[in-house]
Amino acid sequence: MARKNTLRYILLGLLSKKKMSGYDLRQSFQNEIGEFWQAQHSQIYPELAKMEASGLITHAIKISGEKLEKKIYQLTSEGTSVLQEWIHTATDELPVNRDEFVLKLFFISDIHDPALIEIVQQQYDLHEAKRHHLVARERALFPTQAAQEANYGHYLILAHAINRETEYTNWLQDVLGKITD
* Residue ending a domain, choose from 87, 114, 137: 87
Instruction: Specify whether the CB–CB gap between 70 and 19 falls below 8 A.
Output: no
Q: 15 is in which domain, residue-wise?
A: 6-87
State whether 37 and 61 are in the same domain: yes
pTM of the full structure = 0.74
CATH number at residue 12: 1.10.10.10
State whether 43 and 71 are in the same domain: yes
Is residue 95 assigned to a domain? no
Is residue 68 assigned to a domain? yes
- Report long-range pairs for 165-173 (Cβ below 8 Å, ≥24 apart): 165/127, 165/128, 165/130, 165/131, 165/134, 166/131, 168/127, 169/124, 169/127, 169/128, 169/131, 172/120, 172/123, 172/124, 172/127, 173/124
State whether 43 and 78 are in the same domain: yes
Is residue 1 assigned to a domain? no
pLDDT of residue 1: 35
Is residue 94 assigned to a domain? no
Per-residue pLDDT reduced to its tens digit, 90-140: 888 887 778 899 999 999 989 989 899 999 999 999 999 999 999 999 999
Number of domains forming the structure of the chain: 2
State whether 110 and 174 are in the same domain: yes
